[in-house]
Amino acid sequence: MTDDLQEARNDMVLKQLLHRGIRNPRVLDAMRKVPRERFLPPSQRDRAYADQALPVDCQQTISQPYIVALMTEAMELDGEQRVLEVGTGTGYQTAILAELAREVVTIERHAALSEQAARVLNELGYRNIEARVGDGTLGCPERAPFDAVMVTAAASRCPPALFEQLREGGVLVIPLGGRDVQTLEAVCKVGGAPESESLSACRFVPLIGEQGWH
């Protein structure tokens, strides 16, 4: 890692995260540590720490660093949780989660993206990640219940399978709304029912699958 990249990463944490209210020290440390440039195509690497989402393969995106941090902070991970991530994408968010959780199960519908992400994650030394290819809207029932669930694509409603696989007291973070503009929601399971908190306006690619967009 070059000094310039570490400086850019530190600058991102200060100007994009701390200044916008991200306060969890474990989240900030993870964002300071994980090399975002490793998860980008070569043509995008000089923009790795820009304050924006970036296009990647398979018509997907890598989320803006602030949104990654905001979604992660909402899960309140202390290192003991098993987390389900729906939408592996490049694997950058997966790496952040792996820094903070005991175990991450991540599902991606594009096999090429999943394989590429798994390769980079393995090269970086992560051993607490299980990467799967499939319909993420159906979750991973054989590994449920999950302490937290993160969905990195937009749905019109929370997929019932994912909420069912969330343990009591757990948090599911998901962008909800239309195909173009959504609201990021943290949905807690309280007495078996959802209690939602709105976190931010956002814009994600659609969640495709049996319990998502078709």
Domain boundaries, the chain: 3-202
Catalytic residue chosen out of the listed positions 43, 63, 156, 200: 63
User: Mean pLDDT, to the nearest integer, of 29-47?
Assistant: 93
Asked if the model's pLDDT at residue 191 lies above 90, the reply is yes
Residues 171 and 82: their CA atoms lie apart, in Å, by 12
Query: Please, what is the average pLDDT of the chain?
Result: 95
User: What Rg, from alpha-carbon coordinates, does the chain have?
Assistant: 16
Three-state DSSP at 135 gives coil
- Bridge partners, residue 187, by sequence: 172, 196
Q: Which residue has the tokens 């995260």?
A: 17
196 is catalytic: no
The 3-state secondary structure of 74-113, one letter per residue: HCCCCCCCEEEEECCCCCHHHHHHHHHCCEEEEEECCHHH
Pull the structure tokens for residue 85.
Answer: 């991530």
Q: What is the pLDDT of residues 6-21, one digit of tens each?
A: 899 999 999 999 999 9
The mean pLDDT of 175-192, rounded to a whole number, is 96
- 133-167 tens-digit pLDDT: 999 999 999 999 999 999 999 999 999 999 999 99
Predicted local distance difference test score (pLDDT) of residue 204: 93
3 state DSSP class of 27: helix
pTM of the model: 0.96
Extract the tokens encoding 50: 């820009």
Distance CA 109, CA 126 (A): 21
Length of the chain: 214
Topology (CATH) of 3-202: Rossmann fold (3.40.50)
User: Do residues 188 and 99 lie in contact, with contact meaning Cβ atoms separated by under 8 Å?
Assistant: no
